Chains A and B, each alone.
Chain A
């Protein structure tokens, strides 16, 4: 780019006046041009009046000549104005400072340009120079800003590229029509097919999903297209022929109007995790079955001990001495306790294997049923029971829910000291849209703080002076967890306890992943 000339340089660059020109004429033109506005403002109306008078007044040769001269003078002045304006406009139209400078230099180097024009151009160049200087600075600022933004965008793009390239997950973006728009390189590791294969063939991904899981996969896509985040697990057939478990988190992407325009998915390989999980489940299952079988094998000899001891007492009790009968009663009592213990183990291990069927259960109805069955005990203890009449409908198993409340109420009645009447209250709290917390409060003997963590463990008996199997609260926790809930307790020794039972609601909030699509794991 040609460097701009400063005003002084421009002045130095001005051509000297031509030696052959008439100084008087030039001065006159300069004077006329310098003051042409003033002259015009006086001269034009007067001249027009004079011409009008001479043309339409008394006709003489002299008046005609004077009118012609005046007309010529007007024409000359108009010509000077026109030439001046023409060059100014030409200069103004230039868009580059460099071009202007060059052009101006060329113009001023010309020996044919009148000095009046040089003055006009000098002023114009000054103005234009200032204008273009200011414009140029603004343009440079804008340009620098844009360059910085571009550099930042480039860095972000590079970061995303590094992320998507090196992430051990397949990141994809697909349009609502099902066409894959973007596909990160790790997709090839997960599927065996290149990004190009997947982008060019919009059915490729769905084709490799195993037929058993295809419906679940398609339903998840539909849910995401309707605007919900969703997590889905499914099996695919890798190009190499092996089967893999994948977990895809589908996230809808919305346009500025809020309409879902595409889906982003992040997919990871969960085969190892699920295999390990399956192994743990299998071991737990084996353990439960083992406990169940052992318990059953224990029951058979136990039945014999109990049966024979009872038979001895019934058939030969009269022949036995009192001390012999007393010894037999010890056997019967111990066998009875052992039988309860074995039954508890069976019950607890059966909870691990029994299928939990889901249904909508009205908690008020379930609790009414428990209170009816424990009515005699409640009356004996003169207990006061306060149940929230507006308890919600939850998702769970009716029998299991009955067991939960039966256990908690039974404990509250059993562990309330005899010098006071048991008080039990049941209230509901809503902390989110997915679940409800049921608080079961009692005024029983309470639990020591250091034992609070133990009470949900099997056979952890806190109050050994009161009869119990030690399995009740362990069963409650197992049931609640299998229903997708949780149970905790706050307690003050000698004052009472509050059990906080969190249960899934029957109608989940809209954003929740549908149960049949969430963490589905089938072999």
Chain B
């Protein structure tokens, strides 16, 4: 695992960010974690930044809007066009899943009690 790797988390709920961080750490990642609590903050953090991220964990529904356009904008940036983007949501709707996939999400994960799916996914991707 590359120690210099960085992970980006976008979620408007601080408790959720904490739980996601815990899941990442428990999967063995020592990566630096960059957090954003809104779409606006996420855009500001990435603006002009040439840094690449190991992967993104993005909540779908945020207080200042849906993250679909943010995902599209990531795919249009050369340094992020191939980065895995995991969309986390409390919504299990097929339409949400499809919309996220079409925007460029690598995986759509429904938030469950202990983020089992995210944990399993991270464990099966040793490159991260």
Residues of A that sit less than 8 Å from B by CB = 296, 299-300, 303-304, 306-308, 310-311, 315, 332, 335-336, 339, 343, 346, 350
- Nearest Cβ distance between residue B44 and chain A, in whole angstroms? 24
Q: Which residues of B contact A310 (CB under 8 A)?
A: 113-114
Assembly CA distance A275 to B19 (angstroms): 49
Assembly CA distance A311 to B92 (angstroms): 23
Residues of B that sit less than 8 Å from A by CB = 13, 15-16, 19, 22, 61, 90-93, 111-115
Q: Which residues of B contact A300 (CB under 8 A)?
A: 13, 16, 90
- By Cβ-Cβ distance, the 5 closest A-B pairs, closest first, are A299-B90, A306-B113, A307-B19, A304-B15, A310-B114
Assembly CA distance A508 to B115 (angstroms): 48
For A311, A335, A339, the residue with the greatest tally of chain B CB atoms inside 10 Å of its CB is A311
Q: Which residues of A contact B16 (CB under 8 A)?
A: 300, 303-304, 307
Q: Assess the B113–A335 pair: CB atoms within 8 A.
A: yes
For A307, A308, A315, A336, the residue with the greatest tally of chain B CB atoms inside 10 Å of its CB is A307
Assembly CA distance A306 to B22 (angstroms): 14
Nearest to B20 among chain A residues (CB) is: A307
Contact of A303 among B61, B92, B93, B111 (CB under 8 A): B111
Do A296 and B13 contact each other (CB < 8 Å), given the known contacts A303-B111, A310-B113, A339-B113? no
- Nearest Cβ distance between residue A351 and chain B, in whole angstroms? 12
Q: Which residues of A contact B13 (CB under 8 A)?
A: 300, 304
How many A-B pairs have beta carbons closer than 8 Å: the answer is: 43
For B16, B93, B113, B115, the residue with the greatest tally of chain A CB atoms inside 10 Å of its CB is B113
Assembly CA distance A307 to B22 (angstroms): 10
Do A311 and B22 contact each other (CB < 8 Å), given the known contacts A300-B13, A300-B16, A306-B113? yes
Assembly CA distance A350 to B96 (angstroms): 12
For A300, A311, A315, A350, the residue with the greatest tally of chain B CB atoms inside 10 Å of its CB is A300
Q: Which residues of A contact B19 (CB under 8 A)?
A: 303-304, 307-308, 311
- Nearest Cβ distance between residue B50 and chain A, in whole angstroms? 34
Assembly CA distance A6 to B118 (angstroms): 122
- Nearest Cβ distance between residue A350 and chain B, in whole angstroms? 7
Q: Which residues of A contact B90 (CB under 8 A)?
A: 296, 299-300, 303
Q: Which residues of B contact A307 (CB under 8 A)?
A: 15-16, 19, 113-115
- Nearest Cβ distance between residue B11 and chain A, in whole angstroms? 10
Nearest to B111 among chain A residues (CB) is: A303
What are 6 A-B pairs at a CB distance below 8 A? A300-B16, A303-B113, A304-B15, A307-B114, A315-B22, A343-B92
- Nearest Cβ distance between residue B15 and chain A, in whole angstroms? 4
Nearest to A315 among chain B residues (CB) is: B22
Assembly CA distance A376 to B40 (angstroms): 49
Contact of A308 among B15, B61, B92, B111 (CB under 8 A): B15
Assembly CA distance A315 to B112 (angstroms): 18
Assembly CA distance A311 to B19 (angstroms): 8
Assembly CA distance A300 to B14 (angstroms): 11
Do A346 and B15 contact each other (CB < 8 Å), given the known contacts A303-B113, A335-B113? no
18 A-B pairs besides A300-B13, A343-B92 with CB distance below 8 A are A296-B61, A296-B90, A296-B91, A299-B90, A300-B16, A303-B19, A303-B113, A304-B15, A304-B16, A306-B112, A307-B113, A310-B114, A311-B19, A311-B22, A315-B22, A332-B113, A346-B91, A346-B92
Nearest to A302 among chain B residues (CB) is: B90
Assembly CA distance A339 to B90 (angstroms): 11
Assembly CA distance A315 to B18 (angstroms): 13
Q: Assess the A306–B114 pair: CB atoms within 8 A.
A: yes
Q: Assess the B93–A350 pair: CB atoms within 8 A.
A: yes
- Nearest Cβ distance between residue B7 and chain A, in whole angstroms? 18
Assembly CA distance A296 to B16 (angstroms): 15
Assembly CA distance A308 to B111 (angstroms): 13
Q: Which residues of A contact B92 (CB under 8 A)?
A: 343, 346
Assembly CA distance A307 to B15 (angstroms): 9
- Nearest Cβ distance between residue B119 and chain A, in whole angstroms? 11
Assembly CA distance A18 to B13 (angstroms): 142
Assembly CA distance A350 to B15 (angstroms): 28
Q: Assess the A336–B113 pair: CB atoms within 8 A.
A: yes
Assembly CA distance A411 to B89 (angstroms): 30
Q: Which residues of B contact A304 (CB under 8 A)?
A: 13, 15-16, 19
